[in-house]
Amino acid sequence: MYRIKINNIGYVKSVEFNVDSSLLIVPTTMPNEAELFEKDQAKRYCNILNYENQSKNITFSIEEIPSE
C-alpha cells in the first residue's frame, strides 16, 4: 500500500473529484491519517495532482507503507 506525500511536509488524507473533473484533496500532517492506495492508483493521482498544481509549486509523490 502507498500514501501520497505533499512537498515532504504533509500527506493526502482524502481525494475527491470536483465538478470539473479535477481532484480536490484534504491534507494532513499525520502519516497515520493519510489515505492508502494501491500503487497504480497512487501513481495516477500523483500525476494528475502534479499536473493540476504545477503553477503552485506543490509537488506530490508516493510513499510505500512498509508491510508488517
Residues 13-57 pLDDT 10s:
999 988 887 889 999 999 999 999 999 999 999 999 999 999 998
Give the model's pLDDT for residue 35: 95
Closest CA to 3 of 60, 57, 48, 49: 60
pTM over 0.85: yes
Predicted local confidence at residue 18, as pLDDT: 85
**Burial of 19 from C-beta contacts in 10 A (0-12 / 13-18 / 19+):** exposed
Pure H helices in 1-68:
39-52
Top-confidence residue, 37 or 8? 37
